Chains A and B, each alone.
Chain A
Amino acid sequence: MEKPANQINRREFLLRSIFLSGFGAVVATLTWIFWDLWTGAHRFSSSRWVLVAPLNRFRSDGIVPFQEFKIAILRTGQKLGAISMECTHLGCLLNVVDRGFFCPCHGSDFGPLGQVYSGPATVSLPWHDIMNRGGDIWVHLGKKIAEPKWLML
């Protein structure tokens, strides 16, 4: 005996939607896992918090450069900040001089808080997030911020 056509279609439709959603969920989960892995390089790379030095390295005011991270920790008054040492012109590593920072590539000059004194750079140096964890100073290398973030001592 033939079943009515619309009933067959409905049942078939229901079955197919269940399959599709189930299968879709599987694909979604697996995609999530693989997506996470394919974009997971930040764990290996520089977009992360790094342990820079223990707190007792910064006993007096001044600038302490950390070339391997391309940052410098400056202490003024009772606060610490982490400033980027990449020249805002074309990215060369800056040198620390007694009045601030100097770029050996094209001669850009920056003040002690990263403000541009003379070009060709036009943008002042950005800062990094900084924190104290367990007596060590950690700096977040990935994200650069325009306004300084100070760590009070």
Chain B
Amino acid sequence: MKARENFFKHLHPHSIRDRTLDPLSTLGLGIVCMTCLLLLAATGLTLLLYYVPHQDVAYDRILHIMTTLRYGKVIRNLHYLAANVLIIAGILHLARVFFTAGYKGRWLNWIYGLFLLGLIFFSNYTGYLLPWDQTSYWAIKVGANLTTYFPGVGPSLKNFLLGGEEIGPETLIRCFGLHIAVLPFLWTILTSLHLWRIRKDGGLAAPEEGKPVRLPSSPSLYRAELAVGLLTLTLLFSLSLFVGAPLSDRADPLHPPNPAKAPWFFVGIQEMLSHSATLGGVVIPALIGLFLVFSPAIDRSKETGGRWFGKERLTLNLVFALIFLGQLFMIFVGQWFRTRNWGLKFPW
């Protein structure tokens, strides 16, 4: 066997099962997430050169980036799109792992994955505020208020996020610091752990077979991963031709828009809260969280992973599907069916 000649090859196993290459086994979603993350890092570092986290000039700086700087608009759009696609891909990746019982024998990695999901939301939330325009200012205000419904830690969490009681210059500095330093630091650690655990746990969770067919990783795995990565880039580049990162008026603390909505990934919680504060804001999110964390323990099936919708896990799969669709529904309603004063309105 040849020695592992570079770091990239060193990270990968020497050989893989043939099912690893099968697109239907993982849908390549992990690679999609990774690509989004790398693009976010590259575009983010570039934006970092030109942005100033001060409430008087932040908006002007965004304008500068978008109009004066060549390719500034492209980079900002890609950053925005990659961030949102990362949320979607992350959740789909979670769903895939759940439905294929990929967490079997890999509870620690599952927890790392959940942490990463938390990081996704946190990064998106802190980044949302940085343009300091009407949409972001009020979205962060609403988002911070959503946390107060949590008993005990709620108000402290809000104070932590806002850097005080109210949104102000401290909030901007804090979100900026979290977004570019603290969170990327955590990202690096957790992503490394997440990828390392895959090797430690013996590769992707797979059904037991007598004598599985194995292939060398080189070149198949590398090419397959590269292909998925490039396809993700294709998706993001083509989206950027149609969808742009939004920018509205400068933030005006005295005049909230009506309705004031949390960022889309939290608007589901806002919708649930509008029906019932305790149930929607605290109980349901807590239950969902606990379910996700402990499902590998609750799961008593004899699956070893890799099989979609195994019959033994029907109940678990149904519960997950219910949660997934329920939250999706909440996000849909909150985002598109709510108008002034949170009244219901059909968008057509």
Contact = CB atoms under 8 A, between A and B. Distances in A.
Judged by CB atoms under 8 Å, the answer to whether A and B touch is yes
Contact of A40 (B69, B223, B226, B233): B69
Contact of A38 (B49, B64, B226, B233): B49
Nearest to B74: A33
Interface residues of A, number: 12
Nearest to B75: A37
A44 B233 CA distance: 29
Interface size class of B (residues with CB under 8 A): 10 to 19
Nearest to A26: B230
Contacts of A33: 71, 74-75
Nearest to A44: B64
A13 interface: no
A36 B70 contact: yes
B68 A43 contact: yes
Contacts of A66: none
Contacts, number: 34
B74 A41 contact: no
A37 B230 contact: no
B78 to A, nearest CB: 10
A126 to B, nearest CB: 27
Interface string B59-78: 00000100011111011000
A40 B64 contact: no
B294 interface: no
Contacts of B336: none
Interface in A11-65: 19, 23, 26, 33-34, 36-38, 40-41, 43-44
Nearest to B69: A40
Between B71, B72, B230, the greatest number of chain A beta carbons within 10 A of the residue's beta carbon is seen for: B71
24 contacts: A19-B223, A23-B230, A26-B230, A26-B233, A34-B42, A36-B70, A36-B71, A37-B49, A37-B69, A37-B70, A37-B71, A37-B75, A38-B46, A38-B49, A40-B69, A40-B70, A40-B71, A41-B49, A41-B50, A43-B69, A43-B70, A44-B64, A44-B68, A44-B69
Given A33-B75, A38-B49, A40-B70, 4 more contacts: A37-B46, A40-B69, A41-B49, A44-B64
Interface of A: 19, 23, 26, 33-34, 36-38, 40-41, 43-44
